[in-house]
Amino acid sequence: WKGRGSGQSGVGGAEDIGRANTSLPNEEVFLLPTFSTAAKVRVAITFVLFLSSACFNIAVLWTVTQKYRKRPHIRILIVNLAAADLLVTFVVMPLDAAWNITVQWYAGDLACRALMFLKLVAMYASAFITVVISLDRQAAILHPLSVGDAKKKNKAMLCVAWALSVLLALPQMFVFHAVSRSQPIYFIQCATVGSFQAHWQETLYNMFTFSCLFLLPLLIMVLCYSRILIDISGKMKRVFSSKEVHLRRSYNNIPRARMRTLKMSIVIVLTFVLCWTPYYLLGLWYWFSPEMLSRKKVPPSLSHILFLFGLFNACLDPLIYGLFTMHFRREIGRVCRCTHRRKEQASTLIGSFRTSTTADSLVVTAPRIQDTWAHIPVLPPTSCVGSCSSLSFCVQQG
């Protein structure tokens, strides 16, 4: 029995998909996974990605929810993208790290089904919201007069994206379950073992998931930006062929802010494609040639690297937003300045408090000593030596 279950079969987990099969053609393999050095490195890097993605995406959520009234339809898209990235951050990353550490599945059957469902919801949401951003940019460039309805349309598309994410991830709750074996040793795993009667059925399910997660979103995004580029190039040709100066200055009637948002969305789409394409291609190889694992033609470290590269996408989205958004940089700078100013004020207050406390003690103590000095008896010069550590204590002793 190989590995942690096609556990990630619905999530594009190439190495886990290949390990899920109870048997390979004409042979049965009992190869239990271990917490290898590659897995340890994967856990360490996942922890770094978790902290980075959580901080960056929470910062994005905080800045876009401030009192910033301009272009609310864009903010809605960014909020949902950050929420999807946070879902990947708080579901996919910790689950992957913990599973690599424990190797087996100790959380029970219900948690197996629920977490596999949430994991795929997070992956679907991240892909579908990227598609919604592409559709929004296409409408903004090709139909600029309908920008007033953009907020309403975006809300509708986002609702559809989240609903589809939940709906398409539902099969995970029926496909996955906790499976145990007693030979050669007792081992329990969250896997799809026994859920498919034939290998082609599992391959079909994996291909359907792969198509919805990657192929269809990629196709829609390519079509959207192809139409945008064709439209912009056509406008540019008309502008440069015209002899009217004011048309050239208008930059083919596309506002600068809209062009900046277009560039941002293109970079977001490119990072999604670049981060996940290698891993999904590896998954395709495993799905159609699972014997490649037994032949050891692909080192396990490669699948670790490619999966981490895919998770890196959740960290890049907020950085891209910050790079292309002046409001984000301004808000972060304001917070940093306020934090620095508060630290300076706190240190100043502490310093002034210490100074005032020292001065007050001198002012209060000195007259008290002078007032009582005349009423105390004269003591021998050695009466306080060795028994008093301060003049005031000696005075009270007298």
Rounded distance between C-alpha atoms, residue 79 and residue 132, angstroms: 13
Q: Count of alpha carbons within 13 Å of 95, Cβ hemisphere only?
A: 26
Q: How much is the pLDDT for 237?
A: 72
User: Does 374 reside within a domain?
Assistant: no
Distance of CA 243 to the CA centre of its chain: 49
Q: State which H helix or E strand residue 154 sits in.
A: helix 150-169
User: Does 355 reside within a domain?
Assistant: no
Neighbours of 110 (CB within 10 A): 11
User: Does 382 reside within a domain?
Assistant: no
Identify whether the C-beta of residue 116 lies closer than 8 Å to the C-beta of residue 7: yes
β-bridge partners, 27? 24
User: Does 344 reside within a domain?
Assistant: no
Residue closest to 3 by CA, chosen among 35, 38, 27: 35
User: Does 101 reside within a domain?
Assistant: yes
Residue 210 domain boundaries: 6-339
pLDDT tens for each residue of the chain, 398 residues long: 444 443 444 444 434 433 443 333 444 455 667 788 888 999 999 999 999 999 999 988 888 777 555 566 778 888 999 999 999 999 999 999 999 999 889 988 999 999 999 999 999 999 999 999 989 888 888 887 666 677 788 899 999 999 999 999 999 999 999 998 877 788 899 998 888 888 888 888 989 999 999 999 999 999 998 888 888 877 777 666 665 544 444 444 556 666 777 888 888 888 888 988 888 888 888 777 766 655 566 777 787 888 888 899 889 888 887 776 655 555 555 555 555 566 666 566 565 555 555 555 444 444 443 443 344 344 343 333 333 333 233 333 33
DSSP 215: I
Residue 198 belongs to domain with CATH number: 1.20.1070.10
Rounded distance between C-alpha atoms, residue 41 and residue 69, angstroms: 44
User: Does 391 reside within a domain?
Assistant: no
Tally of structural domains, the chain: 1
pTM higher than 0.85, yes or no? no
User: Does 367 reside within a domain?
Assistant: no
User: Does 1 reside within a domain?
Assistant: no
Residue 39, helix vs strand vs coil:
helix
* CB neighbour burial string for 176-201, b if at least 16 within 10 angstroms, e if fewer: bbbbeeeeeeebbbbbbbebbeeeee
Q: State which H helix or E strand residue 177 sits in.
A: strand 177-181
